[in-house]
Amino acid sequence: MIQSANKILVPIDFSEQSLIALEQSYNLAKGLKAEITLLYVIEEAGLISKFFSSKQQDTIKKSIQEQLDKLAADVQKKAKIKVNTLVGKGSVYLKINEVAELINAKMIVMGAFGEGKRKKRFIGSNALGVVRESKIPVITINGKVHRNGCRNIVLPLDLSKETREKVSKAIELSKLFDGAVIRIVSVLFTTDEFVVNRLTRQLGQVKAFLEKEGIECTAEIIKGIKGEETLAQNILEYAVKVDGDLILIMTQQEVDFTKYFIGSSAQEIINNSSIPVLSIIPLPKKDKTLFPNPY
């Protein structure tokens, strides 16, 4: 077997959304020189476990494995990427994170939603569960139509203490996608002149830092209407306006909060975005620095 240093985990249930997520993983795998691992999780509390005997379950698992192997062979032939397969059993989101750690995956790419009534259950128990407890970046994909590759990375900034880490990840992704433009956006719900001027200066510093790194970028401040709009709504509208291909968010608003906390804005973006969302968890550090003035 050909081994590579990096692995991308793609949970598969053969739904349309999971197959769309798989297709979106090809360019990432090529850019990262990574293998793809397809994972199907048989739910412990699902229909298979409840209503079929152990022998019947073994037959079903064998059938699933055969379907996965066929899909892997098709992907290897089409995308020229090494693809591995695994079938697991347990809680879906727990098993996904367990396998990600087991294979030392660099990233998880998964469909965000199921269909119909299953959609709400899937959001609560799986997609957000994976993001909430994952130790590695997770890309959740909801929309049906996506560009092949990535030209515009939307980078929402609140200039918190995770700004440097978030910008570093955006730079890494821009280079991975052959110079994707980074679209910095900050949302303000105040007209206080001092706050606006401070944010404008800081955004300028971040923009200058990116340009010094050779990254094409733009920076924009959106003035939201307090009580009528949410932070997430403004970010999602901006992402559509600039034809974004990926939105990069931090899933924890404060590193000091509970280990498994996801901010309400992050949840709203993950749930409602038709554009793929990359969720990363801040490193456990207290770096309150932003960027030095480059001038």
Task: Kindly state whether residue 1 falls inside one of the protein's structural domains.
Answer: no
Burial string for 165-175 (b: 16+ CB within 10 Å, else e) reads: bbbebbbebbe
Counting Cα atoms < 13 Å in the Cβ hemisphere of 15 gives 20
Residue 228 is predicted with a pLDDT of: 81
pLDDT digits (tens, 9 = 90+) for 105-148: 999 999 886 544 444 444 445 888 899 889 999 999 987 777 77
Specify whether 10 is located in the same domain as 134. Answer: yes
Question: Of 82, 113, 141, at which residue does a domain stop?
Answer: 141
Strand partners, 219: 184
Query: 272 and 231, same structural domain?
Result: yes
Q: What is the pLDDT of residues 178-217, one digit of tens each?
A: 899 999 999 988 888 888 898 899 899 999 999 999 999 9
In a domain, 199, yes or no: yes
**What is the side-by-side order of every strand in the sheet holding 217-223?**
83-90, 34-43, 6-11, 107-111, 138-141, 277-280, 246-250, 152-156, 181-188, 217-223
User: Which residues of the chain register pLDDT less than 50?
Assistant: 1-4, 115-124, 253-261, 288, 293-295
Residues 119, 25 within the same domain: yes
**pLDDT at res. 159:** 67
pLDDT computed for residue 2 by the predictor: 42
Domain interval for residue 84: 6-141
How far apart (Å, rounded) are the C-alpha atoms in residues 6 and 21?
18
Q: At which of 83, 114, 141 does a domain end? A: 141
Give the pLDDT of residue 136.
93
Give the domain-ending residue among 116, 141, 166: 141
Q: Are 233 and 131 within one domain?
A: no
Asked if residue 292 is part of any domain, the answer here is no
- CATH code at position 107: 3.40.50.620
90 and 175 together in one domain: no
Task: Give pLDDT, residue 120.
Answer: 43
223 with 267, same domain? Answer: yes
Q: Is the residue at 293 inside a domain?
A: no
Residues 136 and 184 in one domain: no
Structurally, the chain folds into a number of domains equal to 2
pLDDT of residue 256: 41
Angstrom CA distances, 65 to 1, 7, 15, 58, 88, stand at 18, 20, 16, 10, 10
